[in-house]
Structure 1
Amino acid sequence: MAVFSWIVNLILQSAFIWIPILFGIIFWFSYRAYQREKFIKEKLEFALLEINIPKDVFKSPQAMEMAIDVLYYLGGGAMTWQERFWFGAVLYPSSLEIVSIEGSVYFFIRTSTKLAPAVKSAIYSQYPNAEVNEVDDYTKYVPDYNKYHADWSLNGLDYKLSKDVFFPIKTYVDYGLDAAVGKLEEYEKIDPLSTVIEFLGTIGPGEQAWIQYVIQPDAWSTWRTKAEAYIEKLISRTQGGSDDEEDKSFGRQLTSGEKDQIKAIERSLSKHAFECVIRTIYLARNENINKATKGYLKSSLFLPFNSLYLNSIRKNNETSYDWVWEDITGMRYPILKKRFFNDYVARAGFNEPFWKYFNFIWYKRRPQVILTSEELATLFHIPGRVSESSAVERIEAKKSEAPINLPV
């Protein structure tokens, strides 16, 4: 008891020190959250762009990578410390989306209205026969989810990386698509996105599947230091240059897997990187629910991009619970579904309200996901003729010519 009394007295006697500090911290974070929300409401407006796929595409996903790089160069907003921490300026988030509505597949980019013209120009410069049009948000044609909409069922997921973020996923370069243009026939190419498109084409009547990648430029790049340290560690083992006496691997040759790791990580270091939130939504009328589709989104959607020696994308949160005791009353389940739906519609993930940092009651904390422009272009690009799926409607020719002064 004496120790307890001493601790209580110490806390009370030092209150004049820690209470002002505590309230100062609370005020600072609250002020920043207020300024950030004010900036977002007053300065940020968004446009949803639909990409109509041309009939013949003979370019590798590198063309889309160059278009995605525009979102990095122009994703400014928080240009100085003063603008970011005092005036609430934020980086401009964008969203890359592949959507299946009853088996018809669509490609969308949602970005700031300030960036939309540059994004259009970037796509036209790489795909002159494509069409890019501003369209209504497809999510507004689905009833706002709540448990009283008994005719609709919803299943949502978000995803994380299985290893440290500096390990890249398997990209189009690993599939040889960067060197295949002009060298291989279409039937000889392997495009990992084709598997995803074929799956989305199987979505039946009364069903919808939405895939979303919310991105913003990686402002801190702390992963690069870790990546360089990892490469140095692997190389030092072959040279005996480490001080770790317990490591008996010095002087050995790098394995083929380690060589591939170094090559892939070094390639990532040369690319622009984005913070990313990956989520999917499966919607279906109760009479059309397909459990196989739900299972595919949960465990198989990203298999073509996963690698045992590099990185993998796997499930993080889901709109269900593994154990009965996690939702004994059944109240959390519909709330979780509604929050997933609202987050998808809002393209949430960055610059969220301050109270959301305490949402661990509903979500497991979402780990950081970093993807380079090469990885994003692998996950989201205009498919060539290697993907012959009828689910993707292709246009014969675009209705109007792109401006002649666009960069190529």
Structure 2
Amino acid sequence: MAIPPVPTLPPQVAEAVDFLWAFLSTWWWVPLPFLLASLLKDFYLWWRYNVYWGKIDWVLLELRTPRDVERPMKAMEQVIANFWTLYDPPDFKEIWFEGKFLVPFELEIAGIDGNVHFFIRTPSSMRKVFESAVYSQYPDVEIVEVEDYTKQVPQDLPNENWDMWGCDFKLVKPECYPLKTYVDFFEPTTSEKEEKRIDPLAVLIEGMTRLKKGEQLWFQIRLKPVQDKDSHWIARGKKEIEKITGRKPKEAPNKSITGEAIWAFMEGRPPSFEVTKEEEKAWPVEMRLTPGERDILSAIENKIGKLGFESNVR
């Protein structure tokens, strides 16, 4: 039996394939820089950032408060607002040649052997800013530089003699929803001292005072001042507001004859008359929101109206 001939490509196609193969085998490396540009950029910035981070001289400041602090809680909000003045975004040269970036700082509470300590961890170049902000509202507070308490425990935790557990707190709802602060725990009274009896940190501080010898509890809040152009958190808050105010109301449940009559009397239209979308949009937003939704809108608007910090709580 004769063996069938092996099929071959037409001469024009064969020449095109040979040319393409020769071209790729010679110039295959040309598109690589473009394909790897993003990866190389990230790697370069990561290297520069690490170099810059390694040059930072950190200090740990302890805030030693008197037993009774005759200041309203709102004074601390002003202190935090003053911390925002550290916002100093780097320019093009500082980013690409120096590796500079917005350096975060930390507000820390440490319970060590039943004693509670308040700390601020910051680069030494920013120390005066923090001292001025605290002294402006709390002149009786003593601020001293201390050794890092995190280095006073074995660095190989956990081990045979020490156990360790840690976590990062995460938000359940979008970041535009505010957390409860002292305002939500405050009950207006005629005495300024009375508000201090409702302390949001009371449970945490009380737990730290009950620690036994050799036990420690660290609570750390890392903060970095930001603007909306950095993380668009205000824009996301406004989008959430639009989502709440523009939602479609739920349909009213079926009512009895008496209920229909009362409903018709209150709204001034015959029973079973459905509201059109045009009529619905004509109603003021306040009439289309529940009391709870009004409170949520007010809270979101209040939050996005304040100075912003990118934060991590652990």
Q: Given the two structures, how large is their TM-score scaled by the length of structure 1?
A: 0.57
Q: 1:272 to 1:105 in 2, by over 3 A?
A: same
Aligned to 1:151: 161
Shift of 1:254: 1.6
- Distance change in 2, residues 1:266/1:85 (3 Å): farther
The residue that corresponds to 1:46 in the other structure is 58
Per the alignment, residue 49 of structure 2 pairs with 36
2:283 is equivalent to residue 275 of structure 1? no
Alpha-carbon distance, 1:223 to partner: 1.4
Which residue in 1 is equivalent to 2:211? 203
| Counterpart contact for 1:95–1:213, Cα < 8 Å | yes
Equivalent residue, structure 1, for 2:86: 74
Residue 179 (structure 2) pairs with residue 169 (structure 1): yes
- Give CA deviations for 1:53-90 in whole Å, capped at 9, x if unaligned: 112223233212222223221242x3324422443111
Cα distance in 1 between the residues matched to 2:245 and 2:152:
54
Taking the aligned partners of 1:79 and 1:187, their CA distance within structure 2 comes to: 41
- The 5-angstrom pairing of residues 2-401 of structure 1 reads 16=29, 18-42=31-55, 44-76=56-88, 78-146=89-157, 149-176=159-186, 183=191, 185-186=193-194, 189-219=197-227, 220-236=230-246, 251=283, 252-279=287-314
Q: Distance in 2 between matches of 1:276 and 1:188?
A: 26
- Checking the alignment, whether the CA contact within 8 Å between 1:32 and 1:86 is kept in structure 2 is no
Classify the secondary structure of the residue corresponding to 1:157.
coil
Contact 1:75 1:93 in 2 (8 A): no
Residue 92 of structure 1 deviates from its aligned partner by 2.1
Judging by fraction of residues, say which structure has more helix: 2
CA-to-partner distance for each residue in 1:380-404, whole Å, 9 max, x for gaps? Answer: xxxxxxxxxxxxxxxxxxxxxxxxx
The normalised TM-score by structure 2 is: 0.73
| 8 A Cα contact 2:157 2:164, kept in partner | no
Contact 1:70 1:122 in 2 (8 A): yes
Higher RCO (Cα < 8 Å, 6 or more apart): 1
Quote the Cα distance in structure 1 between the aligned partners of 2:107 and 2:137: 17
Question: 1:23 offset after TM fit, Å?
Answer: 2.9
Shift in alpha-carbon separation, 1:103–1:188, aligned structure 2, 3 A: closer
Distance change in 2, residues 1:254/1:16 (3 Å): same
| Unpaired stretches in structure 1, ≥5 consecutive residues | 1-8, 240-244, 280-408
Could you tell me whether the CA contact under 8 Å between 2:72 and 2:195 is conserved in 1? no
Deviation per CA, 1:15-37: give whole Å up to 9, x if none.
55652223322321121112112
Structure 1 residue 136, shift from structure 2 partner: 0.7
After superposition, what is the alpha-carbon deviation per residue over 1:356-375, rounded to whole angstroms, capped at 9, x for unaligned? Answer: xxxxxxxxxxxxxxxxxxxx
**1:156 alignment partner, SS class:** coil
Larger Rg: 2
- Against the structure 1 CA distance between its residues 218 and 188, is the aligned structure 2 distance closer, same or farther, given a 3 Å change threshold? closer
Q: Distance in 2 between matches of 1:170 and 1:187?
A: 15
Letter in 1 for 2:46: A
Instruction: Kindly report the root-mean-square deviation, in angstroms, between the aligned alpha carbons of the 2 structures.
Output: 2.9
Instruction: Check the 8 A contact 1:72/1:272 in 2, yes or no.
Output: yes
Contact 1:218/1:273 (<8 A) preserved: yes
Q: Distance in 2 between matches of 1:65 and 1:90?
A: 25
Taking structure 1 as reference, are residues 58 and 255 closer, same or farther at Cα in structure 2, changes over 3 Å only? farther
- Contact between 1:101 and 1:203, CA under 8 Å: does it hold in 2? yes
Partner of 1:303: none
Contact kept? 1:99, 1:107, Cα under 8 Å? yes
1:383 corresponds to: none
* CA distance in 2 between partners of 1:274 and 1:127 (Å): 22
- Secondary structure of 1:97's aligned partner: strand
- The alpha carbon displacement at 1:195 in A equals 1.5
SS across alignment from 1:276: strand
Superimposed CA distance per residue, residues 79-132 of structure 1 (whole angstroms, 9 cap, x where no aligned partner): 324422443111121001011011111100111111111211111110111111
**Total equivalences in the alignment:** 258
Mapped contact 2:58–2:123 kept (Cα < 8 A): yes
SS in 1 for 2:76: helix
Deviation at 1:187, TM superposition (A): 7.4
Contact 1:238 1:254 in 2 (8 A): no
CA distance in 1, matches of 2:226, 2:127: 20
- In the other structure, the counterpart of 2:257 is none
The gaps in structure 2 that reach 5 residues or longer are 1-20, 250-275
Q: What CA distance in whole angstroms lies between the structure 2 residues aligned with 1:186 and 1:103?
A: 26
Q: Is the 8 A contact 1:50 1:106 kept in 2?
A: yes
